[in-house]
Amino acid sequence: MFSISVYRSFVLLIMASMLGIVTHLTAAQAQQSPFSGGWTLQPEMSNLNFQSVKKQTVVESSSFATLEGAIDDSGKTEVNVLLDSVDTKVDLRNVRMRFLFFETFKFPSAKITTQIDPALLNDLATVRRKTLPISYTIDLHGVTKSFDADVAVTLLTDDLVSVASTTPISVSVADFNLMEGLGKLQEAANVDIIPSATVSFDFLFARNSTTAEAAPAQSAVTEPSSVALEVEGDFDREACKGRFEILSRTGNIYFASGSSRHDSKSEPLLNSLAGIIQRCPDMVIEVGGHTDSIGSTSSNQRLSDARADAVRRYLISRDLDPSVLVSKGYGETTPLASNDTSEGRWKNRRIEFKVLSN
């Protein structure tokens, strides 16, 4: 028969063993990936800002209103930026950025991806904030580039984490094939703009429920242009005039030499244009065709007539009322630039849109 002291020792031994098991399990849980279950971006609490400089010294701050993203179990992080949601705080400036610079009718989103090593964040629950060096890629305007930066990962609550830039990140316009768009932007705004921007971000992610799998970042299921920051419903006359002036500068309506049949790569812009015309009621829109001076005056007049009419007919096929569209050819009579250079002739070969007086 055990003595009381032996019994107590036995009980203490069992308790110590159980405590050891619990400690071991707790330690094992602590080593579990901090991203276990996945995290989903909270767009209403996140921000992505960029600063540009015009006239050498004037700094303008802009942002994007619509972001999507996720971190999966392994730490793979993806953030999608819907570029039509660019917010410069000025309506027509937003339109210029969308159609002339980012060309969102062809490239509606940008994607940022990186891989965060979960092992580097195993102690995040204790330290709450860590700065990590990461490599990441940006997919923008059809170009993918890789960069390095430091990010601060902050555990705000047990179920909310911030991933933020520690310093502004310089992004060159030339790196993403955006120099031509920058030129169009400068001409439209009549200002010089430095060909780079500084970008900063603070992405907040919420932990997914323990029973749900991490939701991968998805592109928007709605039409990308629907995220644009503009009035709902119909535009007023000035908003329509401004938009047609900007769309006339895109240079994204293409015809083969001597042909009036537009190339299929013109259609993303024309489809966007049709959507704008639908929101300009009680207005008659002129589709104007223009040529360079190569060839005879009469042949250029015929070609400009035919191209303008071809664009008008395509727009009508997008469920527009034929009575709101007229076409007119101007031939070579209204050049924007000298016809002595290939660049000047390219600018002169164009389709323009404008609101006619009632």
The full 3-state SS of 43-69, as one line of letters, equals HHHCEEEEEEEECCCEEEEEEECCEEE
Long-range contacts of 89-98 (CB under 8 A, 24+ apart): 89/62, 91/229, 91/230, 91/239, 91/242, 92/239, 92/242, 92/243, 92/246, 93/189, 94/228, 94/229, 94/230, 95/230, 95/242, 95/243, 95/246, 96/185, 96/188, 96/189, 96/246, 97/62, 97/185, 98/228
User: Which domains are seen in the chain, by residue range?
Assistant: 39-227 (2.40.128.110), 237-356 (3.30.1330.60)
- Closest to 180 (Cα-Cα) out of 106, 84, 118, 89: 106
Residue 258 pLDDT level (bands cut at 50, 70, 90):
confident
Q: What is the mean pLDDT of the chain?
A: 89
Q: Report the pLDDT value the prediction gives residue 270, as an integer from 0 to 100.
A: 96
Average pLDDT over residues 131-149: 97
Average pLDDT over residues 82-108: 97
Phi, psi of 153 (to 5 degrees): -105, 120
How big is the chain, counted in residues? 358
CA 81 – CA 336 distance, rounded (Å): 35
Residue 19 has pLDDT above 50, yes or no: no
Q: Report the pLDDT value the prediction gives residue 28, as an integer from 0 to 100.
A: 42
Q: Report the percentage of the chain scoring pLDDT > 70.
A: 86
The DSSP result for 24-38, as a single string, is HHHHHHHTS-TTTT-
Whether 126 contacts 116, CB under 8 Å: no
Residue 120 has pLDDT above 60, yes or no: yes
Average pLDDT over residues 81-97: 97
Task: Express each pLDDT in 285-299 by its tens digit.
Answer: 999 999 999 999 999
DSSP symbol at 23? H
Regarding predicted confidence, which is higher, 222 or 27?
222
Provide the H-helix boundaries in the chain.
Answer: 4-30, 91-96, 124-127, 179-189, 237-247, 267-278, 297-316, 342-348
Task: Express each pLDDT in 101-110 by its tens digit.
Answer: 999 999 999 9
CA 203 – CA 71 distance, rounded (Å): 11
Q: Report the pLDDT value the prediction gives residue 69, as an integer from 0 to 100.
A: 97
Residue 212 pLDDT level (bands cut at 50, 70, 90):
very low
Q: Report the pLDDT value the prediction gives residue 310, as an integer from 0 to 100.
A: 97
Task: Express each pLDDT in 179-193 by its tens digit.
Answer: 999 999 999 999 999
Residue 305 has pLDDT above 90, yes or no: yes
Whether 223 contacts 85, CB under 8 Å: no
The token duo for 176 is 């993403």
- Closest to 334 (Cα-Cα) out of 320, 348, 345: 348
Q: Report the pLDDT value the prediction gives residue 48, as an integer from 0 to 100.
A: 98
Residue 145 has pLDDT above 80, yes or no: yes
Residue 337 has pLDDT above 50, yes or no: yes
Task: List the single range of 50-54, 77-81, 164-168, 346-350 with lowest mean pLDDT.
Answer: 346-350
Residue 358 pLDDT level (bands cut at 50, 70, 90):
low
Average pLDDT over residues 25-52: 80
Residue 151 has pLDDT above 50, yes or no: yes
Residue 209 pLDDT level (bands cut at 50, 70, 90):
confident
What's the pTM? 0.86
Q: Report the pLDDT value the prediction gives residue 138, as an integer from 0 to 100.
A: 97
Residue 325 bridge partners (DSSP) = 285
CA 356 – CA 193 distance, rounded (Å): 32
